[in-house]
Amino acid sequence: MKTTLQMELAREQMADDEKQKKIEDEKKTKRQLGGIKTMPFVLANEMCDRFATTGFHANMITYLTQELNMPLVKASNTLTNFGGTASFTPLIGALIADSFAGRFWTIMAGSLIYELGLVSITISAILPMFHPPQCPSQTNCKEASASQLWVLYISLLLTSLGSGGIRPCVVTFAADQLDMTKSSVASRRWNFFNWYYFCMGMATLTALTVVVYIQDNVGWGWGLGVPTIAMALSILAFLLGSPFYKRLKPGGSPLVRMAQVVVAATKKRKEALPADSALLYENRELDADISLHGRLTHTNQFRWFDKAAITTDGERTDSKPPNLWRIATVHRVEELKSIIRMLPIWAAGILLVASSSHQHSFTIQQARSMNRHLSRSFEIPPATLSIFGIVTMLSGLVLYERLFVPFARRFTRNPSGITCLQRMGVGFAVNILATVVASFVEIKRKAVAANHNLLDDPKATIPISVFWLVPQFCLHGVAEVFMSVEHMEFLYDQSPESMRSSAAALYWIAISMGNYAGTLMVSLVHKYSGKKSNWLPDRNLNRGRLEYYYWLVSGIQVINLLYYVVCAWFYTYKPLEEICKPEEVVELTRDKIPFFVSDKKSDEETELPRN
């Protein structure tokens, strides 16, 4: 009897030991996932994707005007409209990723759809039935038929839908693999987002030199086929790294959570807020999946939403799981507040995109009319001029991190040199300067054309070097260093961790809305600026008033900069309790409180200078 009991106890002990070992193995495996070893796969995927995207879109204005014989304004609006659609679909992809699918599978689905779109347009470029007869003179050209255009539109739509799964998830998925907590920011000698944009810039630079040259000198079959192959390689690279990825569990629909806060606050609108915010409802177990790196702490902004976290007498005694349509935790209330605080800063990017959405289309047409010869036998493809902006951005990122940040840190004592809001403000200002320079270059180009009696010949090569366009590209590159990099980091850092894909989607939504606004602006200018001296003519840019359009968008950007400065002045960074060692944190009770490090920044670090 005693032996039998001992055997039973031994079996139970062995079972417990096996269970404990299994738990430890799972923890060890979990800790081994992610990290720097995943970066080659993630960045290889994104670089191939960016190579394909740039190679596909960079010279598309030439394909539409030269191969499909579309008028300039119609072609430019077509690209901008689909660009706007491609920047809107990330909101759908982000909601899918954050709600149930996760970022890995959303990226995979988006990549496959994008590849299908590239295959479609490549086939249409190869087969003669999908484009009209050639028109070298660019006068009285037969435009592509409706059926031929529908093939184009379907291909562009597929790439737009595919972008919705890729754009909001890749950068956040990559950041998930690393320790992006703010307590480690001082030790990051090279910021992840700078690395990200540097790699993307290299991919873009390669596409602008290799793919654009193939399109202009070899043919559009290979010119679109190379990006298609690159996209297929990006999918393969991403799949190869799948065993090593850290995949965060989706925390449920962020839109539903925000709606629950609003509904709960509305239902309790007549309740009085407690004087002590510590009396508001908190539930660590409920928020565990959406606050892995620390909970958001209470702020005094937008206090009306705090009513959602008021606990009534019945809710205090109720032992059932809480009805989230009647009561919300402080963390969930602060999630909504964080998004609301970000929106004014985010909205400043809309007019910036609207002002520059068509500039590259018009600049390519300008370059096509200028002397592009580097030698008697070699010409620079017009779309390749963008490399000057990319090279400026790449070198600017290195100089910014290695020279500017250490220099600025001496005065500001900020590990990042200057705050992200200050960095974005500089980007806005430089972009205005780029547009002003573009207007003066256009004045110079037309003056040379007039001196040589070439204003009425849209196919003539004006004897002015195409390198007159380089300064504006370089200024746009400088603006990218300050604005685009920090805009993405701002949205990632200031958004709740469970909504980071959705926050990244906001970046693309601003681009989408800016593209649509830019299309509206160009259409109105084209319609109402007159027939004889139209600012933006369909065929002959020499008889246009493009410099007036540049002055218009410069004025819009000045107003937008003033708006941004006001918004940045009043912005408050999110307060976060950051758990130092998540694996050591025990369940919070009245007697056990885990150690937290506050991530709340000082006023000196969080606001633009007031003098």
Instruction: Give the whole-angstrom CA distance, residue 71 versus residue 80.
Output: 14
Question: Of the ranges 104-118, 181-195, 407-421, which one carries the lowest mean pLDDT score?
Answer: 181-195
Number of folded domains in the chain? 3
Instruction: Give the whole-angstrom CA distance, residue 54 versus residue 200.
Output: 10
Final residue before a domain boundary, out of 285, 315, 334: 334
Q: Is 389 inside a domain boundary? A: yes
pLDDT-derived band at 96, boundaries 50, 70, 90: confident
284 contact partners, CB below 8 Å, separation of at least 6: 291, 295, 587, 588
Q: Is 519 inside a domain boundary? A: yes
Burial class (CB in 10 A: 0-12, 13-18, 19+), 146: exposed
Higher-confidence residue: 81 or 550?
550
Residue 451: which of 465, 442, 439, 464 has the closest Cα?
Answer: 464
* pLDDT at residue 432, rounded to an integer: 92
Q: Is residue 219 located within the same domain as residue 308?
A: no
Question: What value, to the nearest 5°, has the Cα angle with vertex 419 and ends 416 and 421?
Answer: 145
pLDDT per position as a tens digit, 101-148? 888 888 888 889 989 988 998 888 888 888 787 776 666 777 778 888
Q: Is residue 319 located within the same domain as residue 368?
A: no
* pLDDT at residue 116, rounded to an integer: 92
Secondary-structure percent of the chain, ordered helix, strand, coil, rounded to 5: 70, 5, 25
**Within 10 Å of residue 450's Cβ, how many Cβ atoms?**
12
Final residue before a domain boundary, out of 224, 251, 278: 251
Q: Is 499 inside a domain boundary? A: yes
* pLDDT at residue 581, rounded to an integer: 45
Higher-confidence residue: 23 or 238?
238
Q: Is residue 276 located within the same domain as residue 141?
A: no
Q: Is residue 266 located within the same domain as residue 383?
A: no
DSSP of 493-522: HHS-GGGHHHHHHHHHHHHHHHHHHHHHHH
Average pLDDT on 458-465 reads 83
Final residue before a domain boundary, out of 288, 303, 334: 334
Q: Is residue 440 located within the same domain as residue 540?
A: yes
Q: Is 548 inside a domain boundary? A: yes
How big is the chain, counted in residues?
611
Domain that residue 408 falls in: 342-577
pLDDT-derived band at 430, boundaries 50, 70, 90: very high
Residue 161: which of 112, 114, 104, 101 has the closest Cα?
Answer: 114
Q: Two tokens at 517?
A: 């606004």
Asked whether the beta carbons of 362 and 442 are under 8 A apart, the reply is: no
* pLDDT at residue 233, rounded to an integer: 86
Q: Is residue 448 located within the same domain as residue 470?
A: yes
Q: What are phi and psi of 373, to 5 degrees?
A: -75, 130
pLDDT at 600 over 80: no
Q: Which residue has the tokens 């600017």?
A: 396
- Whole-number mean pLDDT of the chain? 78
Burial class (CB in 10 A: 0-12, 13-18, 19+), 305: buried
* pLDDT at residue 182, rounded to an integer: 46
- Tell me the sheet residues that pair with 379: 373
Question: Of the ranges 23-37, 105-119, 321-335, 446-460, which one carries the lowest mean pLDDT score?
Answer: 23-37
pLDDT at 449 over 80: yes
Q: Is 83 inside a domain boundary? A: yes
Q: Is residue 434 located within the same domain as residue 351?
A: yes
Helix (H/G/I), strand (E/B), else coil: 596: strand
Q: Is residue 234 located within the same domain as residue 305?
A: no
Q: Which residue has the tokens 């759908």?
A: 92
Q: Is 13 inside a domain boundary? A: no
Q: What are phi and psi of 417, to 5 degrees?
A: 85, -70
Instruction: Give the whole-angstrom CA distance, residue 503 versus residue 258.
Output: 14
Burial class (CB in 10 A: 0-12, 13-18, 19+), 13: exposed
Residue 295: which of 452, 498, 132 has the closest Cα?
Answer: 498
Q: Is 147 inside a domain boundary? A: yes
Question: What value, to the nearest 5°, has the Cα angle with vertex 189 and ends 186 and 194?
Answer: 110
Q: Which residue has the tokens 């990017």?
A: 349
Helix (H/G/I), strand (E/B), else coil: 143: coil
pLDDT at 249 over 50: yes
Q: Is residue 372 located within the same domain as residue 437?
A: yes
Higher-confidence residue: 262 or 90?
262
CATH number where 355 lies: 1.20.1250.20
Q: Is residue 263 located within the same domain as residue 373?
A: no
pLDDT at 3 over 70: no
pLDDT-derived band at 585, boundaries 50, 70, 90: very low
* pLDDT at residue 563, rounded to an integer: 93
Q: Is residue 87 located within the same domain as residue 72?
A: yes
Instruction: Give the whole-angstrom CA distance, residue 502 versus residue 495.
Output: 9
Q: Is residue 370 located within the same domain as residue 465?
A: yes
583 contact partners, CB below 8 Å, separation of at least 6: 27, 31
**Within 10 Å of residue 406's Cβ, how many Cβ atoms?**
10
